Structure 1
Amino acid sequence: MGPDVVGPVRGPSNSFPLGSGRSDDHATAEFGPTPVSQLLDDATARTSEGRRWQRSYRRQVLAVDSIVVIAAVVLAQIGRFDLFGTESSGYVSWERATALSVGLALTWLVALGVLQSRDISLVGIGSEEYRRVVSATAWVFGLAAVTSLILQTQLSRGYLMIALPIGLVGLLAGRHAIRRNLAKKRLRGEFVTRVLILGKPEQAAVLCTSLDRSKEVGYSVAGVCIPDYDGAVGQQLITSSGALPILGDENSVEVALRLTGADALAVTAVEQLGHEKMRKLAWRLDSLGVDIIVVPGMTDIAGPRLKLRPIDNLPLFHIARPNHGGPSMYGKRAFDLIFGTAALAVLLPAMVITALAIKCDDGGPVFFRQDRVGQHGKLFRILKFRSMSVDAEIRKGAEQSKGGNAGVFFKSASDSRVTRVGRLIRATSVDELPQLFNVLGGSMSIVGPRPLVPGEGESVEDFVARRALVKPGITGLWQVSGRSDVSEEERIRLDHSYVDNWSCVQDLVIVWRTARAVLNRDGAY
């Protein structure tokens, strides 16, 4: 079901005097109890506040970078040239070592700026910010090593080996701490970037949903302009994240930006506007100091798959095919074997205690075995700790009827078949640990879509076929996004997103987020 357009909007917070928006004369009118002059003053105040927090954030990041880099080179200099420096091991004078440290520190800070690691647009996109920090650090130390070799400056390898890990870990930890603090403030509605959307109602609704799911990114939608809009003044666009005021058509953008105090314009209607209008729109926004965000027609495509390849000054996005084979899959299998073996060795005592608890609880079997759908549609036998009564399969139909569940997946927080021990091991995800044997056997992976029961999900078009392109996993993208509390639609979307955008780095992030979710017991039952 698409978004609804209703109206009118009333009240001082979202009353905007715009119809088709073909003239700035609208800005002098009044609508409702609040004069437009006051709305403009409020919008100016919001814009000034937005720019202040951005400047403050940049200064904070620069300060943290400077402290970390200076600390890294000072510790490296003391550790290498003072504590371990001798004539026989390539002694360097204090003055020469200090000059080298100052040069390295300045080059490091400049590189972090040149690679735009402090770009405000990266706020909320942690992986890209961290990648740029790592890239800048790698370039600096590579350049330092090459320069030392060519100029014979006797820059100690021990010095670099101390400065590199300390500085890199410190930079990443500092950025993470700043981002966590900013995310907490954004969840409270502070330090947000106000966005005006220009697009059709359906496209605007999709963008609103995505921004609402990622509140820590800090985008707050102030309103929407609809191309060729000719509706009544003051109507609302109803989306899953709430009602938005409709502020006119594509000609209303400048007035709407001033009235809302928006810092950015998100355009989801590029095909409706055309190249010429988009170019003129970009020029107008540049004069207003407003950023422009262009939303492509494709959704759930990760950044590494998108490559910008301009042809004759026409920007073209090349979308790489999903990575479902080749050498990278050998890396994934190696990670499964190493991590699975280590996890099994560490968790074996907990698994033994769990097995004894299950046996003592009701005397039934310790393990639960069931056929599941694996990679390429092949069936395999999954192994879990039994968390339900022995007759759980017989009572499944009655439990579904009692719960009134008619969805694609069935899982209930009040399932009467779950045993006393079962509730505990489900809440802590201990019931999943025997699947490590499936991982070592090759039928599952540490990270991937959850394995489906045969016949499950077949009502959703392309769902089972797409998931079968990769191995099912013990944990996955939807589990770290809310576990059992995730809606069916969101679970399907996240599974598709993982299959289409899998990478080794993403797997490591999911494993880390899984540990946090388990410790917090988020959405487990």
Structure 2
Amino acid sequence: MLLDHTRVRLGSAAAVQVRTAPPRPQAGTPAWVGRYSLALTAVEVLAAAGAGLIVLAGRPETWSTSVPLPWVVAALVLAWPVLLHAEGAHSERVFGTGSDEYRAVGKAGFALLAVLGFLTYATGVDLGRELVVGAVPALTVVTLLSRVTARCVLRRLRTRGWCTKRVVVVGRGTAVLELVDRVRREHYAGMDVVALCVTPDDRNRVRGVAGVPVGGLDDVLAVAAEHGADTIAVTSASETAAEYLRRLSWQLEGTGIELLVAPGLVEVAGPRLHIRPLEGLPLLTVEQPRFAGWQRVVKGTLDRVAAALAIVVLAPLLLGIAVAVTATSPGPVLYRQERVGVNGQAFTMLKFRSMVVGADRQVDALRADNISDGLLFKMKVDPRVTAVGRLLRRLSLDELPQLFNVLGGSMSLVGPRPPLPGEVARYDTSVSRRLLVKPGLTGLWQISGRSDLPWEEAVRLDLRYVENWSLAMDTLILAKTARAVLSRSGAY
């Protein structure tokens, strides 16, 4: 996203002036935001009404109580969307983001439970266990599921160019072009770059490759007005740009245009970044990545338990694949290959053999057909792959024996791609950070395109995982892996 980009400097002191009287664009809230919020509100009201009706159906005597439960249910139908709005679940900022949106819904659910619990304790009125213990948690879950569905719909709309922000990117040429490339590649983020504003020295170079209008650093507001932009993204927050950013933020006051600023930290995001005020000065706090501690112990335990259960459940499938490999191609069932794991320790990775025996010795002869732009060797149509092996690769079934690696502790269910020793020998300092955690059976690379990914993109995803790992991220990756495998994108 916009905050995952390197620090740049925004030119000389002369370029730090923002034109004092440009046309002032007026960017109101996009129309789609109101419609999207209204649709979510309607779903939330229906969900609350449904939960309330279920409670009422189970308690026909409710009108005879001191506080009739139907009135409580009616209040619930009104209170639930209000709480969601109050917790920020209807803010444009969280729409489609995933974790922030779900967290807001969860907080609203806890708030509703707290309010009902307090009313029960303070007034002595029995609101009913069905309502407090049953309906409210169920309502929260249903709302979360509706948000997941809505997020999928929104991302699909954004891939078609709808429900997007019109963005002007500001900064030095190289950083601006990197951001444009990132936004265009991750189109589901809802950013439509309509213009760029760069330093004078970079204008000609950027204009030749950008594909959008290019202005100067002192033309930002005029460019935004001309192209109807509602967002300004500045690719640096360095000390030389402080005055520029201050003046730009003043100029944007009253325009409704959002200002986004990259912190200059690569692949560090999410819960590791915090704003900490120090005597009125806002400082960006970056927590150190967690490579040890109780969460790692939990991860290791869950990995081994899940791997053991998967091996038991998938035993018939594993046996069937083994028979198919043996019957269709001479050679061993399993392919053993040395890979490099956590802290550079070598281990033997297991896979179902999907190639002919001796395939490793044929790499040099096929080097001319290599389509990889990095350290890997990749071919879309590899003559070494057997007929059964091609099917196994398409469905990622050849990876299943790695469950034994997970059970043995040399791999994890989720992590970076396990590299070859030859790759590791050519790693630079930044790429070698992939070795700070155990390699995974699946990972961000698996759910983002697999073999279709450029080398730099695969490395970036692995580094993002290493820097921002959490149990919640692991759960999300595992949930998305099934969809990636079924789509068979990038599997060859």
* Same topology, TM > 0.5: yes
Aligned to 2:124: 152
Compared with structure 1, are the counterparts of its residues 343 and 94 closer, same or farther at alpha carbon in structure 2 (3 Å cutoff)? farther
Offset of residue 443 of structure 1: 1.1
Compared with structure 1, are the counterparts of its residues 238 and 354 closer, same or farther at alpha carbon in structure 2 (3 Å cutoff)? farther
Compared with structure 1, are the counterparts of its residues 144 and 277 closer, same or farther at alpha carbon in structure 2 (3 Å cutoff)? same
- Do the aligned residues in 1 keep the contact of 2:172 with 2:202 (CA within 8 Å)? no
**Which amino acid in the other structure matches residue 158 of structure 1?**
E
Compared with structure 1, are the counterparts of its residues 375 and 22 closer, same or farther at alpha carbon in structure 2 (3 Å cutoff)? closer
Compared with structure 1, are the counterparts of its residues 224 and 503 closer, same or farther at alpha carbon in structure 2 (3 Å cutoff)? same
- The answer to whether 1:163 aligns with 2:135 is yes
Aligned to 2:56: 77
- The answer to whether 1:417 aligns with 2:387 is no
CA distance in 1, matches of 2:304, 2:69: 45
**Which amino acid in the other structure matches residue 340 of structure 2?**
V
CA distance in 2, matches of 1:100, 1:92: 13
- The answer to whether 1:58 aligns with 2:37 is yes
What TM-score results when the alignment is normalised by the length of structure 1?
0.84
- The answer to whether 1:204 aligns with 2:172 is no
Offset of residue 109 of structure 1: 2.2
Aligned to 2:211: 243
Equivalent residue in structure 2 for 1:133, among 102, 105, 111? 105
- Do the aligned residues in 2 keep the contact of 1:408 with 1:457 (CA within 8 Å)? no
Unaligned 5+ segments in structure 1 are 3-19, 28-39
Compared with structure 1, are the counterparts of its residues 56 and 402 closer, same or farther at alpha carbon in structure 2 (3 Å cutoff)? closer
Offset of residue 498 of structure 1: 0.7
Compared with structure 1, are the counterparts of its residues 511 and 261 closer, same or farther at alpha carbon in structure 2 (3 Å cutoff)? same
Compared with structure 1, are the counterparts of its residues 94 and 349 closer, same or farther at alpha carbon in structure 2 (3 Å cutoff)? farther
CA distance in 2, matches of 1:366, 1:275: 62
- Do the aligned residues in 2 keep the contact of 1:182 with 1:191 (CA within 8 Å)? yes
The alignment of Structure 1 onto Structure 2 pairs a total of residues equal to: 477
CA distance in 1, matches of 2:353, 2:170: 52
- The answer to whether 1:286 aligns with 2:253 is yes
User: What percentage of residue pairs aligned between the two structures are identical?
Assistant: 37
- Do the aligned residues in 1 keep the contact of 2:445 with 2:458 (CA within 8 Å)? yes
- The answer to whether 1:324 aligns with 2:270 is no
- The answer to whether 1:381 aligns with 2:351 is no
Aligned to 1:181: 153
- The answer to whether 1:435 aligns with 2:398 is no
| Residues 102-111 or 485-494, more deviating | 102-111
- Do the aligned residues in 1 keep the contact of 2:237 with 2:264 (CA within 8 Å)? no
What is the root-mean-square deviation of aligned Cα atoms in Å? Answer: 2.7
Aligned to 2:411: 444
- Do the aligned residues in 1 keep the contact of 2:120 with 2:126 (CA within 8 Å)? yes
Aligned to 2:47: 68
CA distance in 2, matches of 1:443, 1:146: 50
Offset of residue 394 of structure 1: 2.0
Equivalent residue in structure 2 for 1:482, among 449, 458, 461? 449
- Do the aligned residues in 2 keep the contact of 1:204 with 1:268 (CA within 8 Å)? yes
Offset of residue 95 of structure 1: 5.6
Offset of residue 260 of structure 1: 0.6
Any idea what the Cα deviations from partners look like across 1:383-430, whole Å, max 9, x if unmatched? Answer: 111101011122222222453767311121121111110000000000
Offset of residue 56 of structure 1: 1.6
CA distance in 1, matches of 2:247, 2:37: 30
- Do the aligned residues in 1 keep the contact of 2:339 with 2:347 (CA within 8 Å)? yes
CA distance in 2, matches of 1:129, 1:441: 37
Aligned to 1:33: none
Unaligned 5+ segments in structure 2 are 1-5, 7-16
Compared with structure 1, are the counterparts of its residues 230 and 362 closer, same or farther at alpha carbon in structure 2 (3 Å cutoff)? closer
Offset of residue 66 of structure 1: 1.9
Aligned to 1:224: 196
Any idea what the Cα deviations from partners look like across 1:217-244, whole Å, max 9, x if unmatched? Answer: 11111111225x3788x985355xx423
- The answer to whether 1:307 aligns with 2:307 is no
Offset of residue 78 of structure 1: 2.6
Q: Which has the higher contact order (CA 8 A, sep 6+)?
A: 2
Any idea what the Cα deviations from partners look like across 1:472-522, whole Å, max 9, x if unmatched? Answer: 110011111001101101011111111111111111111111100111111
Offset of residue 182 of structure 1: 2.0
Offset of residue 94 of structure 1: 9.1
Any idea what the Cα deviations from partners look like across 1:90-111, whole Å, max 9, x if unmatched? Answer: x973962122223334333222
- Do the aligned residues in 2 keep the contact of 1:365 with 1:386 (CA within 8 Å)? yes
- Do the aligned residues in 2 keep the contact of 1:194 with 1:262 (CA within 8 Å)? yes
**Which amino acid in the other structure matches residue 145 of structure 1?**
G
